[in-house]
Structure 1
Amino acid sequence: MNPSNGVLFRIRTSEFILQKATQFRLKSSSSSIFTLKSLTSKQKKSRDTLSLLKSENNPDRILEICRSTSLSPDYHVDRIIFSVAVVTLAREKHFVAVSQLLDGFIQNQPDPKSESFAVRAIILYGRANMLDRSIQTFRNLEQYEIPRTVKSLNALLFACLMAKDYKEANRVYLEMPKMYGIEPDLETYNRMIRVLCESGSTSSSYSIVAEMERKWIKPTAASFGLMIDGFYKEEKFDEVRKVMRMMDEFGVHVGVATYNIMIQCLCKRKKSAEAKALIDGVMSCRMRPNSVTYLLLIHGFCSEENLDEAMNLFEVMVCNGYKPDSECYFTLIHCLCKGGDFETALILCRESMEKNWVPSFSVMKWLVNGLASRSKVDEAKELIAVVKEKFTRNVDLWNEVEAALPLPQ
Structure 2
Amino acid sequence: MVAWLKPQLVSEMMNRGIPRPNIVFFNSVINSLCKEGRVMDAHDVLDLVIGIGERPDVITFNSLIDGYCLVGKMDKAFKVLDVMEVVGVEPDVVTYNTLVNGYCTNERIDDGLALFREMPHKRIKPNTVTYDIILDGLFRSGSTVTARKMFHEMIESGITVSISTYTIILGGLCRYLCG
Common topology (TM > 0.5)? yes
Which amino acid letter does the alignment assign opposite residue 78 of structure 2? K
Match of 1:289 in 2: 91
Query: In the alignment, which residue of structure 2 is the partner of 1:256?
Result: 58
2:79 to 277, 294, 297: 277
- Label 1:318 to 1:367 Cα distance change in 2 as closer, same or farther (>3 A): farther
- Shift of residue 221 of structure 1? 1.1
- Secondary structure (helix, strand or coil) at the match of 2:19 reads coil
Instruction: Decide which structure has the larger Cα Rg and report it.
Output: 1
Pairing of 1:21-60 with structure 2 (within 5 A): none
TM-score by length of 1: 0.36
SS in 2 for 1:360: helix
- Cα distance, 1:297–1:204 mapped onto 2, change above 3 Å: same
Residue 240 of structure 1 is matched in structure 2 by 43
In the aligned structure 2, how far is the partner of 1:321 from the partner of 1:265?
A: 24
> What corresponds to 1:337 in structure 2?
139
Secondary structure of the equivalent of 1:204?
A: coil
Q: Once the two structures are superposed, what CA deviation does each residue of 1:91-133 show, in whole Å capped at 9, x if it has no partner?
A: xxxxxxxxxxxxxxxxxxxxxxxxxxxxxxxxxxxxxxxxxxx
Distance 1:280-1:245 versus aligned 2 partners, 3 A rule: closer
Per the alignment, do residues 281 and 209 of structure 1 end up closer, same or farther by CA in structure 2, a change over 3 Å counting?
closer
Question: Which digits, 9 at most, give the CA deviation of each residue in 1:44-83, with x for residues without a partner?
Answer: xxxxxxxxxxxxxxxxxxxxxxxxxxxxxxxxxxxxxxxx
Equivalent residue number for residue 219 of structure 1: 21
Structure 1 residues 320, 282: CA separation in 2 closer, same or farther (over 3 Å shift)? same
1:266 maps to what in 2? 68
**Conservation of the 8 A alpha-carbon contact between 2:69 and 2:102:** yes
What CA deviation, in whole Å up to 9, does each residue of 1:316-344 have, x standing for no partner? 11222222232221121121122222232
Look up the SS of the partner of 2:4 in the other structure.
helix
Distance 2:135 2:168 in 1: 12
Give the match for residue 191 of structure 1.
Answer: none
1:344-368 superposed Cα distances (whole Å, 9 cap, x missing partner): 2123212334433142346336348
Q: Is the 8 A contact 1:268 1:300 kept in 2?
A: yes
Asked if the contact 1:345/1:367 (under 8 Å) is kept, the reply is no
Question: Is 1:364 the counterpart of 2:170 in the alignment?
Answer: yes
How many angstroms does 1:300 deviate by? 0.7
Is the helix fraction higher in 1 or 2? 1
Corresponding residue number in structure 1 for 2:159: 355
Equivalents in 1 of 2:39, 2:70: separation in Å? 16
Q: In the superposition, relative to structure 1, how do residues 281 and 247 fare at CA in structure 2: closer, same or farther (>3 Å)?
A: closer
Closer/same/farther in 2, CA of residues 360 and 203 from structure 1, 3 Å limit: farther
Amino acid at match of 1:349: F
Aligned equivalents of 1:364, 1:216: Cα separation in 2: 54
Contact 1:291 1:324 in 2 (8 A): yes
> Which structure 1 residue ranges, 5 or more long, are not aligned?
1-201, 374-409
Matched residues in 1 for 2:175 and 2:37: separation?
Answer: 43
Q: Which residue type is aligned with residue 304 of structure 1?
A: N
Q: Which has the higher contact order (CA 8 A, sep 6+)?
A: 2
Instruction: Deviation per CA, 1:239-278: give whole Å up to 9, x if none.
Output: 733x334323443112332221111111111222321133
- The reply to whether residue 323 of structure 1 matches residue 125 of structure 2 is yes
Corresponding residue pairs, total: 170
In 2, Cα distance between equivalents of 1:239 and 1:356:
35
CA contact (8 A) 1:225 1:258 kept: yes
Q: Which runs of 4+ in 1 moved over 6 A?
A: none
1:231 Cα deviation (Å)?
4.7
* 1:204 CA drift (Å): 2.9
2:161 partner amino acid: W
Gaps of 5+ in 2: none
- Whichever residue aligns with residue 366 of structure 1, its letter is G
* 2-structure distance, mates of 1:334, 1:342: 10
TM-score, normalisation: structure 2: 0.74
Q: Deviations over 1:295-334 (max 9, x none)?
A: 1101111111101110111111122222223222112112
